[in-house]
Amino acid sequence: MNTETISKTNGHKLNGFTSENIGDDHLFTSLDTPMKANAFDISNNEKKKRISILFSEIMDVLGLDLTDDSLQGTPDRVAKMYVEEIFSGLDPENKPEIALFDNKYQYNQMLVEKNITFYSNCEHHFVPIIGKAHIAYKSSGKVIGLSKLNRIVQYYAKRPQVQERLTNQVANELKTVLKTEDVAVIIDAKHLCVSSRGVQDDTSSTVTTYYGGEFNTASKISELQNYLNN
């Protein structure tokens, strides 16, 4: 997987390659999720109406009978799922509110929250990414509720994603919220665009990492890996 930041060039090319040349390679162009400036000019209800109409057209082009009892409600169901569920992380209104608390226990070692299950979607094929996130941080004087760690992961996962971007977005959010560089994020995920199509490899998974501050040392990485493996 190419983790190099790619810049757009003329003719809708990335580093001189067209999307056809790139094929199934997973590339990302920025740390921020690519969004239009007017992304929120229309309401969620209007978005659902438009998506339903457009998805009806896709189903029609595929040759499906939209008058069938089983299929006639599908466009509305897909539209609702896109806006309210699997892509709800695109809307900043859904960003979790984070409350910090004084570290009254004076716990000054790493805190590890492992095996946070998440479901995301590959932005290249719009098929699921299913994985586990492991988070660690060292308090700078404040602590965060454990459930909020899960909610941060879920918020950034619920959008079309690239795993490298997801890893960095979660790490940057934690650094900002916790006011510390001492943050680590490890994500281990299966991409259905690899397992269910393309090369159809159902055994491989992808691991991405972020080690900041004190975690960016061989001893701390080894300590963290020991916690995760036990």
Residue among 154, 161, 163, 169 flagged as catalytic: 163
Question: What is the secondary structure of 74-85 as a DSSP string?
Answer: HHHHHHHHIIII
Catalytic residue check, 134: no
Residue among 84, 113, 125, 181 flagged as catalytic: 125
Residue among 26, 134, 164, 193 flagged as catalytic: 193
Catalytic residue check, 122: yes
Catalytic residue check, 124: yes
183 phi/psi in degrees, rounded to 5: -135, 140
Catalytic residue check, 163: yes
Burial profile 50-85: b = 16 or more Cβ within 10 angstroms, e = fewer: ebbeebbeebeeeeeeeeeeeeeebbeebbeebbee
Residue among 26, 123, 164, 169 flagged as catalytic: 123
Catalytic residue check, 97: no
Catalytic residue check, 123: yes
Catalytic residue check, 93: no
- State whether the Cα torsion 49-50-51-56 is positive or negative: positive
Q: What angle do CA 170, 171, 176 make, to 5 degrees?
A: 100
Lookup: tokens for 214:
């004190």
Active site members: 122-125, 163, 191, 193
